[in-house]
Chain A
Amino acid sequence: MIDPHLHHVPRLGRHPGRFRLVGTPVIVVMLGSSLTALPFVAQSPVLPPFGLLLLLAWRLLRPELWRAWIGLPLGLFDDLMSGQPIGSAMFLWTITLIGVDAFEHRLVWRSYRQDWLIACLAIIFCLIGGWFFARVTGGGRIELLLVAPQMLWSMLLFPFIVRQCARIDRWRVMA
Chain B
Amino acid sequence: MARPPSRRPGINRKAQYSLFASYVVAVVGAVAGLLLVVIAIFDPTGFAGLRTVTAEVTRPISVGLKNMVSGISSVDEVLAAYWRAGSQNVSLRRQVESDRNRIIEARAIAQENARLKRLLKLVDEDQSDLLTARLISSSSGSTRRFARLNAGRWQGVRPGMPVRAAEGLVGRIDSTTPNTSEVLLLTDTGNIVPVRRANDSVPAISTGGGDGSLEIRALSAGRNPFKPGDLLVTSGIGGIYQPNIPVAVVVRVQGEIAWGFPLANPSRIDAVVVERAFEEVVTRQDPAVTPAEETPSGNASAP
A residues contacting B by CB (< 8 A) are 34-50, 63-64, 67-69, 71-72, 75-77, 80-92, 94-95, 97-98, 101, 104-105, 107-111, 130-131, 133-143, 146-147, 150
Contact = CB atoms under 8 A, between A and B. Distances in A.
Contacts of A138: 40-41, 44, 190
A37 B31 CA distance: 28
8 contacts: A67-B19, A68-B26, A77-B54, A80-B53, A81-B58, A83-B182, A134-B143, A141-B207
A47 B207 CA distance: 23
Contacts, number: 214
Contact of A84 (B65, B144, B212, B266): B144
Contacts of B144: 83-84, 134, 139
Given A87-B32, A91-B34, A130-B143, A139 B190 contact: yes
Which one of A41, A139, A147 has the greatest number of beta carbons of chain B within 10 Å? A41
Interface in B257-297: 265-267
A86 B47 contact: yes
B3 A43 contact: no
B122 to A, nearest CB: 34
Nearest to B183: A41
A142 B4 contact: no
B50 interface: yes
B138 interface: yes
A75 B33 contact: yes
B22 interface: yes
B145 interface: yes
Nearest to B69: A39
* Closest 5 pairs between A and B when the two form their complex, measured CB to CB: A83-B139, A87-B36, A90-B33, A43-B212, A91-B33
Interface string B230-257: 0000000000000000000000000000
A146 B30 CA distance: 26
Given A37-B62, A104-B3, A107-B3, A45 B23 contact: no
Interface string B163-193: 0000000000000000000100101111010
Which one of A84, A110, A138 has the greatest number of beta carbons of chain B within 10 Å? A138
Given A41-B147, A43-B212, A137-B41, A83 B142 contact: yes
